Amino acid sequence: FETGSSASNISKEWNTKTSVWLTRYVYIRTNGNLLAVYSTSAFWHGFYPGYYMFFLSVPLLTFAERLISKKISPYFVGKSQQQFYSILCSITMSISVQYLVLPFVLLSRDRSYGAYKSNYFFGHIIPVLVLLLGNLLPKPPSSNNDDKKKKQ
């Protein structure tokens, strides 16, 4: 899961059986509520604050990733552009996960907060900026395939 190019892939690969259970019994039953899924996962792991800090930060990254996928990825159409985009996503996701997972390892609130603070909260600030600024971007142009599907 260390080389995943998306938050959803990393979540699914982290613990496959738990991911299937959370999808079936929480995600589907709450109509895709990521906060419910990750809160359940944090509760499942225990009562250390680091678990909650980690698991409740993941939806922020996921929402930003979905917005980028919707608004920016359609502009990468050629094979070399798609490869570049894929590599960029993998690197960005790897850095983001390394940042977000710190509390999962440190467990205590003070140490976890200190770790985030020493990194200037970049893993929280950048997704918030993506969400705020990404919604200002125009809708990407639809491809010819999308137009054909709509006409049918």
Active site residues: 15, 45
Q: Report yes or no: 2 and 101 within 8 Å, Cβ to Cβ.
A: no
The one-letter amino acid code at 9 reads N
Please provide the size of the chain in residues: 152
Q: Report yes or no: 9 and 35 within 8 Å, Cβ to Cβ.
A: no
CA neighbor of 4 nearest in space, from 139, 94, 78: 94
Q: How far apart are alpha carbons 53 and 73 in whole angstroms?
A: 29
